[in-house]
A and B are shown apart, each in its own frame.
Chain A
């Protein structure tokens, strides 16, 4: 008992004081939303959460219609396997073509030209007037006579020269090509006794045709004789 008595103490739990309610009497500044800013936000479509879905967009509808063009296989009784496959192949071709075009466009914008769609080299459309002629189709005797009688000696000399070229070509001494120069023909005759006289005839033609030297009746007579004797010598 004595041992227990040491524990026999009075309850030492403190009695709590009664709670006192204290009111916060400090003044509070109430903040309000800025109505103008809210209205501004409301006007922006990004903040409009109303779900007014009115079906797919025009873009989506276009593609749906576009791909439906390849939907060949659908018939009233079901699907035809053959046409389904044709449609699929066409679809893939269109996709591959589209991707290819996109790649080319990107390469082109990057300055890389693959030359796939470059214009083919073509001659400039500058008319010369004499270009459409074929020396094998010209009636030289008639045309030279006509030009000379009309006093167009310049043209007559030109025709005389063309006739000479035709004659040399027919005899296998030169190979006529519209893109060969007169000196190229002179060089072709380097092993021929005709070279010197042909050189002189070329000289006459060039003075008249490229030099624009005036040809009188007398000088035409001389020139015509030179060409004539060459023709006689060759024929």
Chain B
């Protein structure tokens, strides 16, 4: 966003070009879902992990695969199943008969972009294996720490917990996801476009149309830029008030953690950068509040039974707080 009265302090041209390319690339296949795509890009720029939730058939996995394809980095996919073991994710020590020693065989979690499909189909034991790697970006195995390569992004998809054969993810793990993005059903016009596109498509492989527009090193550099954006103190106080309010709200059993406060600020920085600004506005905070907080807060049982959603409560909380102006 240009302003003739002020000179740009930060060069965001590379970032904005890359974002536009990714959007254009994904827009070829994904119909609509502009907000979902923007949030996924923001999540990647904010150095966060992303959880995509939606009922079967709304292109959760396809979105994640397309994002992964548009970045030239080591991609790995893990299909979570009820019988998956932690060692199937992290890797395991195998005895080498030639050397007579145990050797660590790395699991599929070693990579830059990890697509965990149907994450909530594996039980808590396997979920717990992801705690360390998602937060600390390392794995400790047999007393030795193995660092993940930068960038390390977990893109996970899940069905809503009400669906058959799913488990509720542990709170500690949910807190490690920067965003929980909910994919809704497309509108009627969008649905018609989807059917028409599929009908006219000559090849079955949709992914073949997507080319990588960013290198892994570019992501690291863009993240550095996003991290350096300006955030006024009054905006930080605004974030703190929102999170504080979640802890005192009578509709909530569990409020946001300090990690949630940091996540809101980091995500808002990425949204500001995508908008072409090198500073954060209250609008950026409001925009990211629901995707950052909806999986971190817990409704009281009575509110859950009343059918109130976390997004409703977040909106109510924000409405109660004065915008710093």
Chain A contacts to B: CB under 8 angstroms: 115, 118-124, 126, 128-131, 158, 161-162, 178-183, 203-204, 206-207, 209-213, 219, 222-223
B241 nearest in chain A by CB position: A124
State whether the Cβ of B323 lies closer than 8 Å to any Cβ in chain A. Answer: yes
The 8 Å CB contact of B320, one of A128, A179, A206, A212, is: A179
The 8 Å CB contact of A222, one of B5, B324, B325, is: B5
Q: Are A121 and B322 in contact (CB under 8 A)?
A: no
State whether the Cβ of B281 lies closer than 8 Å to any Cβ in chain A. Answer: yes
Tell me the interface secondary structure of chain A in the complex: loop
Q: Are A120 and B323 in contact (CB under 8 A)?
A: no
Chain B contacts to A: CB under 8 angstroms: 1, 3-6, 9, 230, 232, 234-235, 237, 240-241, 244-245, 248-250, 277-283, 286, 300, 318-325
**In whole angstroms, how far apart are the Cα atoms of A124 and B249 in the complex?**
11
Q: Are A179 and B230 in contact (CB under 8 A)?
A: no
The 8 Å CB contact of A121, one of B230, B245, B318, B325, is: B245
Q: Are B280 and A210 in contact (CB under 8 A)?
A: yes
Count of CB-CB pairs between chains A and B under 8 Å:
92
Known: A121-B250, A123-B320, A209-B325. A182 touches B283 (CB 8 A): yes
**In whole angstroms, how far apart are the Cα atoms of A131 and B5 in the complex?**
28
Q: Are B250 and A179 in contact (CB under 8 A)?
A: no
Known: A179-B319, A180-B323. A210 touches B281 (CB 8 A): yes
Q: Are A118 and B250 in contact (CB under 8 A)?
A: yes
Given A115-B250, A207-B3, A213-B9, 7 more A-B residue pairs with CB atoms under 8 Å apart are A121-B248, A128-B322, A161-B325, A179-B318, A210-B282, A211-B6, A211-B277
The 8 Å CB contact of A206, one of B241, B250, B281, B300, is: B281
Q: Are B5 and A162 in contact (CB under 8 A)?
A: no
Q: Are B5 and A181 in contact (CB under 8 A)?
A: no
Report A20 CB to chain B, min CB distance, Å. 91
B241: chain A residues within 8 A (beta carbon): 123-124, 126
**In whole angstroms, how far apart are the Cα atoms of A123 and B247 in the complex?**
11
Known: A182-B282, A183-B283. A207 touches B322 (CB 8 A): no
Q: Are B324 and A130 in contact (CB under 8 A)?
A: yes
A-B contact pairs, 25 of them (CB 8 A): A118-B250, A120-B250, A122-B248, A123-B320, A128-B234, A130-B234, A130-B324, A158-B325, A178-B325, A179-B321, A181-B286, A181-B323, A182-B281, A203-B3, A206-B279, A206-B281, A207-B3, A209-B232, A210-B235, A210-B280, A212-B230, A212-B279, A219-B5, A219-B6, A222-B4
**In whole angstroms, how far apart are the Cα atoms of A206 and B240 in the complex?**
20
Most B CB atoms within 10 A — which of A115, A120, A213? A213
B243 nearest in chain A by CB position: A124
